[in-house]
């Protein structure tokens, strides 16, 4: 079965620290990959997405993610976090070209940034 694994349940960082959140997926075919962010009490918002091309994808708010096909990974990074980045981050996979239109989400990683 397709699944998405996010390695860290809760990450606590100080402002200006660098961030890397891990994401691995189990689907063997071609995939589209997403990172969504959910700020406290709000809905999910798209951070960035990868469909094809350059495996290093840049998103909003200084976030980027790298698709490594051989490792089935799509890790999220930010060089210097801010207090306002405190949120929950979800990695998601969608099998492209297939009959499915849904996203399969990981369990999420809560990020707490200390001022």
Partner 1 sequence: DAGVIQSPRHEVTEMGQEVTLRCKPISGHNSLFWYRQTMMRGLELLIYFNNNVPIDDSGMPEDRFSAKMPNASFSTLKIQPSEPRDSAVYFCASSLGFSGNTIYFGEGSWLTVV
Residues in contact with partner 1 by CB under 8 A are 32, 34, 36, 42-46, 49, 51, 90, 94-108
CB of 80 to partner 1, least distance (A): 27
Q: Which is nearer to partner 1, 72 or 105 (CB)?
A: 105
Q: Which is nearer to partner 1, 10 or 80 (CB)?
A: 10
CB of 46 to partner 1, least distance (A): 6
CB of 103 to partner 1, least distance (A): 6
Instruction: List Cβ<8 Å contacts ≥24 apart for 83-88.
Output: 83/15, 83/113, 83/114, 83/115, 84/113, 85/19, 85/61, 85/111, 85/113, 86/39, 86/40, 86/111, 86/112, 86/113, 87/37, 87/38, 87/39, 87/40, 87/111, 88/37, 88/38
Q: Which is nearer to partner 1, 1 or 115 (CB)?
A: 1
Q: Which is nearer to partner 1, 70 or 102 (CB)?
A: 102
CB of 28 to partner 1, least distance (A): 16
Q: What is the dihedral of CA 26, 31, 37, 41, to 10 degrees?
A: -80
């Amino acid at each position: 079965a397709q699944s998405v694994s996010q390695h860290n349940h809760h990450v606590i960082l100080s402002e200006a620290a660098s961030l890397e959140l891990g994401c691995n997926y189990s689907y063997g075919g071609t995939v589209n990959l997403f990172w969504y962010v959910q700020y406290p009490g709000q809905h999910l918002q798209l951070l960035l997405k990868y469909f094809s091309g350059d495996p290093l994808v840049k998103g909003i708010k200084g976030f980027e993610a790298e698709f490594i096909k051989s490792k089935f990974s799509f890790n999220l990074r930010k060089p210097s976090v801010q207090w306002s980045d405190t949120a929950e981050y979800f990695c998601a996979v969608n099998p492209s070209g297939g009959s499915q239109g849904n996203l399969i989400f990981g369990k999420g990683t809560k990020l707490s940034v200390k001022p």
